[in-house]
């Protein structure tokens, strides 16, 4: 188990191992932050979910979900990447931005 943990840490990079926020791309334009939160709560406690602002009208949006625990963010990323959310296939990855700048 320890060896596996070390491999996990090396492959993700030390900062990503403890990241609690994930980026969701390809969200349907009708999906709001409440629906986004509800879709990810099955993986753990969500502290924040938001639809990110866009500079132009678009049919597909992106959003961010922040979990209370990094393990939950990791599980959600693995489970939801390439899955359907409100009729759209979404891409999910770690979020590298700053949520404070988004509000």
- pLDDT of 25 higher than 80: yes
Q: Are 80 and 90 in contact (CB under 8 A)?
A: yes
Residues in the chain: 103
Give residue-wise pLDDT tens across range 27-64. Answer: 999 999 999 999 999 999 999 999 998 777 677 899 99
Model pLDDT, residue 98: 57
Model pLDDT, residue 1: 34
Residue 9: pLDDT band (50, 70, 90) is very low
Model pLDDT, residue 97: 65
- Phi, psi at 69, each rounded to 5°: -130, 135
Q: How far apart are CA 64 and CA 95, in angstroms?
A: 7
Q: How far apart are CA 92 and CA 83, in angstroms?
A: 9
Give residue-wise pLDDT tens across range 69-101. Answer: 999 999 999 999 999 999 999 999 998 765 554
Model pLDDT, residue 16: 56
More confident residue, 32 or 9: 32
- All structural domains of the chain: 18-98 (3.30.70.330)
User: Kind and range of the H or E element at 11?
Assistant: helix 2-12
Beta-bridged to residue 24, according to DSSP, are 63, 92
């Amino acid at each position: 188990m320890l060896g596996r943990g070390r491999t996990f840490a090396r492959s993700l990079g030390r900062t990503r191992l403890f990241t609690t926020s994930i980026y969701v791309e390809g969200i349907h334009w009708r999906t709001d932050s409440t629906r986004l939160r509800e879709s990810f709560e099955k993986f753990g406690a969500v502290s924040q979910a938001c639809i990110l602002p866009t500079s132009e009208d678009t049919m597909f949006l992106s959003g961010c979900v922040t979990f209370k625990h990094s393990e939950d963010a990791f599980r959600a990323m693995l489970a939801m990447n390439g899955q359907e959310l409100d009729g759209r296939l979404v891409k999910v990855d770690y979020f590298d931005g700053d949520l404070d700048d988004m509000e």
